[in-house]
Amino acid sequence: MDSAKGHAALRRGRFSAPNASYFLTICTGQRAPGLAGSKVGSLVLGEMQSMEADQVWSVRCAVIMPDHVHLLIELGDRLSLEKAVSRLKAKTSAALRAAGITWERGFFDRRLRARDAALDVFLYVYLNPYRAGLTERAQRWPWFYCRPSDWEWFKSYLDEDRPPPEWLAA
């Protein structure tokens, strides 16, 4: 399948709405690992936060995995969703290239509606590295980020900042 056609089809008829919440997945080219390293991961997380300071978006939670990033964001009114993701990729591409990886063309997004439960997205994002076998329950994945106000709410679902064992049961 031609990924350019697939991504173009996903974009057709879509618009970005300021102040809307979006669940994003941004992958590396060929799903090559290397994002969750100290230098690259720190740069990607730093740019996400810089974009928040610039009021491009507000990151509610995010996880950096070896070959992709998941974010739950509230889009600001300065850039469209597509331009916001393009900025993240542009500002981090040099570091990725230095690590021998690139960003995949396009990205995946889902706009959350008022009836959608944000908790479901938080759980998916938070549990991603545990379910992928990248870390054990006793450890906290270092590449998970949660906005402080959301962390106060979300941590009440956790077991001493770790996933309850039943969440990880097959």
Beta bridge partners, 112, equal 21
Amino acid type, 159: D
CA dihedral 144, 35, 46, 53 (to 10 degrees): -80
Judged by phi (left if over 0) then psi (alpha if -120 to 50, else beta), residue 55 lies in: left
Average pLDDT in the 14-25 region? 90
For 49-71, the pLDDT digits (tens) are: 999 999 999 999 999 999 999 99
Q: Do 118 and 112 touch, CB atoms closer than 8 A?
A: yes
User: Where are the chain's structural domains?
Assistant: 3-168
pTM to 2 decimals? 0.89
Is residue 168 very low, low, confident or very high in pLDDT (cuts 50, 70, 90)?
A: confident
Long-range contacts of 159-164 (CB under 8 A, 24+ apart): 162/137, 162/138, 163/126, 163/127, 163/130, 163/137
**Residues 74, 20 contacting (CB under 8 angstroms):** yes
> What is the CATH architecture of 3-168?
2-Layer Sandwich (3.30)
Q: What is the pLDDT of residue 129?
A: 97
Read off the pLDDT band of 169 (50, 70, 90).
confident
